[in-house]
Structure 1
Amino acid sequence: MELYKDQHMEIISRDNKVFVKKHREDYTMKDFETLLKEFPRIKLTNFMELKNLFNQQNGDFVEIGVLLPEMDIQISKDAMTANILFYEDPKKISNSEDELNLKIKEIAASIGIEYGLKRILWEELEKKKHVIAEGKEPEDGVDAKITYFQNPTRRPKIGLDGRADFSDMNFIFEIEKDAWLGEKIPASEGIPGMNVLGKEIPAKAGKDLILKYNPESVYESEENGKIIIRSKTAGVLDDSNGLISILQHLEIKTDIGVETGNIEFDGSIAIKGTVLPGYSVKATGDISIEAKEGVSGADSIESTGGDIYIRGGVFGHSKTIIRAGGSVFLKHANEATIYAENEICIEMYAIGSNLSGRIVRLDGVNGKIIGGVTEATSYIHTAIAGNQHERRTELIIHTIDQKEKMGEVRYKAGKIKEIEQEMGVLESRVIQLQPLTKQMNAQQLEVFEDTKYKYELKKSVVIQLNYEIQTILKQLSEIEKECVEVTKMAFEGTIIKIGKRSSMLKTRTNGVFKMENGELNV
């Protein structure tokens, strides 16, 4: 095909290759460059041959490049966009906007573009490059959302003077049968997208979340597109191990003594009176002792998995032992032994008592620790430590073994993996059998329900192990932050020990005592 010809030069194309032939010796390279501007579709690929053409006598045709198409459509690597590049003035290619877009549509179809084709407007043709097709990005699904019923916070009220008031803590909150305990809005699947080639792009489903509850006391049902969990029985809400459970609740309107005997109960206990000398109370859930005079001379008060609240404090007479799987809250402690997995919170004072918890916290204005041994793994806080008679008072922070704790985390994570594999097998069985439940006889239905129950129990174990791992990780996060804080006065005779470092105070002081550069800053 002849592209150009005059007395100086001839340009032709053959199979989209461009050839030139020089007719006059006086025609220069510069003259050709000027001519070439009139042919934007010619792309030089053989510059040396062209240069040689103008350095020798007239001869045959020489291949110098390629003839580009009038327009070229390029699809992006991800096939989400397509651009058109005009190598020729579009208004020379077509007489109207409709004719131009028809040509574009035909070219687009020939290279597989099926979706998102745009129309090019006549008035926008001054741009050389245009986006002529766009795919639709997928819309990721929304993550599941879980909301739980919130128990009232078990914290003393702080007055304007900074003092803590333990008199009204809403310690035990009773739940009615079928009460709402939480809900899950399931994750959505998302909306698929489409690339310009018409291929569907799958959407990323929202992240699912597990409702954490004990199936023995809580059940779930679908209501208006939500998964709702409710209590199977009346009782007390417990979430101490990361699972929502309903514990049985026992209310005793008298003292624990001759009439009741020692009490041991699977659930929570609210005692309107006190625990008389020599008697004991043990429960798996929370224990609340409401008597204003507190407890005096009791043998033991133990909650294996919950918190303990003693409104009036305790006079232990060197024999009362209080032990909680959670926290202990009380007004004062006198010659008592108190253990708590989490916190010990005392409003007024601890005299001659042995205290042990993750955190031991006394009121920052008037709280006093006088005598005895106070031990924690994270933090001890009091206004006053010891007394003017230099009574031996030990404040000890036990630092944890990081290597040992990480070993526990790895072991528990391994157990979770094993159980999740077992859960996968059970879940597959449930999915396979679910559509057949209407055709099952009584025995088959019993097996099906048993499989579901085993799955839920294993799920509960996984949640419990995860809770334990998070507890350990929380402890690890407190490493090197351990301290003893005495806001007002630590008297002579007070021993402060953190890890392997200890010091007995020779002079009165206050402040935050911790490890600095391997030494205790006392």
Structure 2
Amino acid sequence: MEKCTKGYFEFDTRQDGLYLTVYPPQQGEPALDAGEVLYYIEKKNIYGCDITLIGDTVKKGATQEVTVKVSDETPYPVSEFGDYRISHDTMTLEAVFYPPFKGAVELTYEEIQKDLKNIGVISGISEEAIRLFLLEKRYFETYVLAKGTKAREGSDGYIEYTFNTSLKPTPKMNEDGTVDFHTLENVNHIKSGDVVAILHPEDRGDNGTDILGRPVYPRKVKRAVFRYGKNMEVSEDKLKLISKVDGHVTLENDKVFVSNVLELVDVDASTGDINYSGSVMIKGNVLAGFSVKAAGDISVSGIVEGATIIADGDITFNRGVQGMNKAVIKAGGNIVSKFIESASSVEAGGNIEADSILHSKVRAKGTIKASGRNGLIVGGEVRSICLVEAKNIGNEMGTATVVGVGVDPAAKKRVDELKTSLQKLGDSKIQLNQIMTALRKKQEIEGKLAPDKVELQQKTMRNLVMIEKDLTEQKNELEQLRQQLGEDVNARVRVSGNIYVGVKLIFGEQNYFIKEKRTFCQFVKDKADIKWQSL
């Protein structure tokens, strides 16, 4: 047997009884603990030993080899054995080895392996630890002979939102120390195609194996799923939530909502100015000094004070505009309002319809009608390309009122300017194309162009692109103006009630002053004259 360098003991069965030999430690190793001897005799059911004598012998054996008879019994010799201990989680096997009786059988590698198999240990066995014990024979010391493979813990799936989920409108502090309540970050704007949320799938982890060969499962993880309303779609890889519309996005109780209609109560210091890529619906009022801009339609159920309202689509005011001579209203489409009063500027790409238009500057490419119960146009300036219609225009007090129909003279002037500009752009395009043709031929002949010619080619190409852009824009503008000029032919002012003295009618470049009250009539342009006709 290999000699153990730490203090150890050895039993020897002789004819007259059982003897114990205690070997002292070597090279500074620890001495034998009497408890190891007592555990041994209890473990192997060795009876009749003198416990006190064993204790004294162990003490003496700390410094010298001592052999004493400790029992008259002659037990069967015990082979070298291991005391194997499996942890509660069955992930670790620890072994403490004990020496054999003198001359008894020692453990081999195969026998230890067999022991492990007998107790069910089949996985994670450390051959190195077994061989180490066999090499050094350090008794009463713990050897880790097997370790299970721990499960790799996974992680819960989660949703990453690409927008601010906790908007807190905060006024901007200006450099001069004043507070700007107009610019508040209170809306998460998005465009069609924007990713509003990203799903990070759960990681389920990997199973482990305990030393008995059984699977060890990681903890259960939570799966994340998109929760969302309308106007969204999930990407093909199921990992992105994408908006299908321009608008805004919000998160309510872990559910994503996208809408192209922004609903507000009032527009005031609590909201700041609104600039929205969809439509806006305001249930209350728009206070003076604030602005609402939308790429879609705008609807206001309350009063619009001296505010700015601009929409690419239609504008609807259920009550009306009290402009305070400050309100600016502009729609790409139609404007419908209960009334328009003291507005600085009202413009529509389509028609304008109101019950009354008072002391306001109003323009429309389509018709303008004051056709409600009152049907009034009084004060200010009202201009339409084709038709202005009202029950009553002006009043008995002779309030100065301007009503214009037909194309503004400035538009006719612009048509002439566009024709001249388009001719020049066309000539420039021809010259640039000639330069490009010459350079291409030169390149084909010589194989490549000199650096200065390459630079000229690139510059010419850039200029061509810019000219093409200008040509397209100016042609579109010219076409729109020509359509307006065509409508100018049938321009008229129609009155189903009264038109009063003090009203000035403008047809293109011609003016017509109402010198006497007229009823149920219309005014049209007949060649170079403006004439009235009965309805």
If the length of structure 2 is used for normalisation, what is the TM-score? 0.40
